[in-house]
Amino acid sequence: MVQKEDDDMNFISADIRKKLEPILAKFEHKVILKAWIDDSEFSMELKNFAKEFCSLTANVLYEEGIIEGAPGLEIIREDETSSGIIFHSVPGGHEFNSFVLALYNVGGPGQDLDPAVEKKLEHIQKTVHIQVVVSLSCTMCPEVVIATQRLAAASPKITAEMYDVQHFPALRKKYNIMSVPCMIVNDTEVYFGKKNISEIIDLLL
């Protein structure tokens, strides 16, 4: 869980920092955390969070760029190719674990992927763009975020973006989102509710 403490303005508590040490040390490759920002307060929070997280380890490098669209944190591989994973949120609440796992899956060794899911991934030949709209207080949202981003880390055909509904009211209006998690596939197909990685890969196929 991310905590923002008034005394020192840290996003990540000392206890969480200690728990992260062994996980971050396991990375097989460096990853780049790129903050895509504009001049908004939301962008400043993203930037500050990303810089603080990157200060915890030499395995996660900080970059930033200017964007005219939705500000976010993009996870980029060591060879500077995109993983297709973007967090349009400061990954707090229940989504902090999702964020750490996304970095771990890109940096390696990553979570094991079920052989049945891996086989089905081979059948995805067209580009698939997934948007997962969440609330940071939602207990069902992380499973969908983690699953879609695990698929993105494993397949160059899949991109997975997480949006905090609090910061993107236009997205909620466009897709008439009344509850979360909400998964939008290729800007047209909308699915609500908790889903595991097997259910998601079947929907994509």
Tens-digit pLDDT profile for residues 2-15: 444 333 458 999 99
Hunting for tokens 């160059």 — which residue is that? 156
SS3 10: coil
Instruction: Please state, for a pLDDT cut of 90, what percent of the chain lies above it.
Output: 94
Instruction: Read off the pLDDT of residues 138-184 as tens digits, 9 standing for 90 and up.
Output: 999 999 999 999 999 999 999 999 999 999 999 999 999 999 999 99
* Its pTM surpasses 0.75: yes
| Segment 80-92 mean pLDDT | 97
Average pLDDT, the chain: 94
For the record, the structure tokens of 96 come out as 């902090």
Classify 44 in phi/psi space as left (phi over 0), alpha (psi -120 to 50) or beta. Answer: alpha
Q: What angle do CA 142, 144, 149 make, to 5 degrees?
A: 95
| Ordered structural domains, the chain, with CATH | 14-204 (3.40.30.80)
